[in-house]
Structure formats: structure tokens, C-alpha cells
Amino acid sequence: MPKRPVARIYPGTARHLATLARRLSAGELVAVPTETVYGLAANALDARACQKIFTAKGRPTTDPLIVHIHALAQLVDIAEPNKAAHLLAKKFWPGPLTLVLPKKSVVPAIVSAGLPSVAVRMPSHPLFRRLLKLVGVPLAAPSANPFGYVSPTTAQHVRDGLGNKIRYILDGGPAHIGLESTIVDVRDPARPRLLRPGAITRAELEFALGRKVAITARRTPQSAVSQAQLAPGLLARHYSPRTPIVLHATLPGRPAGARDEAWVLAAKPKGSTAPNVFWLDAHGELRGAARRLFATLRRLDDGRFKQIHFALARGGGLADAINDRLRRAAAR
């Protein structure tokens, strides 16, 4: 039997960064910290290396990858930026914004799932940036988790999910933002479209571009507030946590319910709480909630609870991104 790889977590010393850059140049996979979530990186110009990403994650090849760059000079190597792209890049890069642009032919078809477009992002995480610079080529990187499960926000999350599929994990600490990047399609600069909400909000994009940004309907159901209980058997294969998620527009500060159900509130209630009551941020702040959302989903998804109730985030902007992930976690 072939030996399974065992992932090792590397602290970001200069020596380890150099080693990991060599592994990437040799066509191997390295899990990397980013400010959004941990990514599973490969040389974006090497089709065989990128194929390994899909194999390790069990990701269908119809789902295209985001390509990461460390300098603006790399953008024109892989894509055809226009004025709108330059405007957004200038304003939000490095940062949690992905631009979809016409693709150049050096980018292999597997990266873009055969599409004539490519998704590009310049991340801000300092360790990932140093690695990108050392490797010198753009790196394709989706989230470093088995396809369909909750995205990883720590090196340990990556090892929990892919520990026997990959060898190298660079540890950059807990992800600062905690949600995947905002994706905006700017192929037609006159009609920008938001493909995925994230920490850069639609209002910020509209302000920077001086025009409306349309929302593209997701493939997943948009069931606003689902009170329906979902069959766990159906969820296990396709969707985020194994435990069914139930969403609520509001939750009482002191939810009364069975002890085998978890309640996740927007903020910490005053006074003592039952052991099945949790909150994403003590003060109900959205940034803290975003940062802790995926870790909380993972922690509560250990079989203790037969259902997890979540209060939807309130307000626009980052709340839209949080609620998008909650709805997808709850969707069947």
C-alpha cells in the first residue's frame, strides 16, 4: 500500500519559507495562511500541480480556483485588467478582494475550469506574501479543506481535514478576517457583478467604482430564514457542518431549549448562561463574529448537539457576508 502523507505544520521562519517555496516550485501542494481563510496552494501555471489541489480536496474540476499574486506586475501576466480592475486593485489590494477578468493563455484551463476568465487576488497576509515573492509565480489556492466542509481558519483546521492528503502546512496564526474573499466580476467594467460577498462590501465597491454593482444569484438556495430541520444524512455529503443548522432572524437573549441543541447568539447575554448557549462575539461586533464563525461551526460540529441554532447577523455589509455563509451552511 502506498504510504499516506502526513502533514507537518511549519512555523514561518526564513528557512521554512525557503523550503516550502522549493516544494511549490517542484509542483507540490502547500497549505498557506491568508487573511481570509487558509488556502491550499500550487503553482498556478503548472496544470499538473493544480490537478493535485482538486484531488486532495475532492473538489469537482468544474469549480475554478483563485490565483494569488504578490505584485501588480504579475496581474498582466495572467489576466487582462481594465480601468475598473486597476481602480479596485489600487484601492483594495493587498486585501480580501478577488477580481474576475479575461484570462491569458499561460493560465492552464484546469485553473479556470475551462472558462475564458480568471479570478485574481493579492493577499495581505505577510507570510503568504513572502512565500509568493520567493516562489516568483502566481499561486492558485482554494480553501484548504475537503470540498464542501467548513473553511479552515487555523493551521490545525487544515491538518484536521487534509492531514493525510498533503505534507506541508505553513502556520500564520488564526485568519484575521475569517471569511473567504469578496469576488467581483469586472470583465465588463460598465457592469460589475458581485459573485460572493466578503469583508470588502458591495457599498465599498460601488463607492470606489462610482457605479452600481449587481448581485449575481448563487447556485445555492437563498432560503432566507429556514426554520426547517434538515436531514443530517443528506447534509453530511454535500454541505458544511454535519450537524443541521437552523437560522433565526432573532433569538431571545436567553433561549430556552433542549440541552442537546446549541444556540449561537450575536452577542454575550448578561449574567450566567447555560452550557449550550454560545456567541460569536462578546460585544456583538461583526468583525469578531466573522473571524470566529467557522471555528465556532467546527467546534460545535463534534456530535454533541443534534441541531445548532444561529441568529442571523444584523445590518448590511459584513453581515451580508456572514449570513451568506450561514445560509450555505444551513442549506441542503
- The helix or strand, by DSSP H or E, that contains position 184, with its residue range, turns out to be strand 182-185
Residues numbered 273 to 302 that lie near ligand AMP (CB under 6 A) are: none
Give the x/- contact pattern for ligand AMP in 72-111, rule: CB under 6 A: ----------------------------x-----------
Given Mg ion, ligand AMP, none, residue 301, with its beta carbon under 5 to 8 Å by kind, binds none
Partner that binds at residue 112, options ligand AMP, Mg ion, none, CB closer than 5 to 8 Å by kind: ligand AMP
- Give me the residues paired with residue 18 across strands: none
Query: Nine-digit cell at 206?
Result: 460601488
Number of residues lying near ligand AMP (CB under 6 A): 15
Of 37, 41, 15, 39, nearest to 28 by C-alpha is 41
Cell of 39: 488556502
Amino acid letter for position 40? L
Nearer to ligand AMP, 111 or 131 (CB): 111
Per CB under 5 A, 153 contacts Mg ion: no
CB of 30 to Mg ion, least distance (A): 17
Which residues are paired to 308 by β-bridges?
Answer: 245, 262
Q: Do 243 and 300 contact (CB within 8 A), yes or no?
A: yes
Q: Is 180 in the site for ligand AMP (CB under 6 A)?
A: yes
Interface with ligand AMP (CB under 6 A), residue from 72, 195, 225, 246: 195
CB-wise, 112 or 143, nearer to Mg ion?
A: 143
Q: Cβ of residue 140: shortest distance to ligand AMP, in angstroms? A: 9
Pairing of strands 168-171, 66-68: unpaired
Separation between Cα atoms, residue 286 and residue 230, nearest integer Å: 27
Query: Can residue 117 be called a binding residue for ligand AMP (CB under 6 A)?
Result: yes
Q: Closer CB to ligand AMP, residue 119 or residue 277?
A: 119
Task: Give me the phi and psi of 101, to 5 degrees please.
Answer: -135, 165
User: At its nearest, how many Å lie between Mg ion and the CB of residue 146?
Assistant: 10
> Are 31 and 169 a contacting pair, CB within 8 Å?
yes
Report the partner that residue 326 touches, choosing among Mg ion, ligand AMP, none (CB closer than 5 to 8 A by kind): none
Interatomic CA distance for residues 113 and 97, integer angstroms: 20
Question: In Å, how far are 43, 121, 252 from 118, measured between CA atoms?
Answer: 15, 10, 44
143 interacts with Mg ion by CB under 5 A:
yes
Dist. CA 178–CA 137, nearest whole Å? 25
- Tell me which residue has cell 469578496: 182
112 binds ligand AMP (CB under 6 A): yes
> Which residues contact Mg ion (rule: CB under 5 A)?
143
> Which residues contact ligand AMP (rule: CB under 6 A)?
63-66, 100, 112, 115, 117-119, 142-143, 180, 183, 195
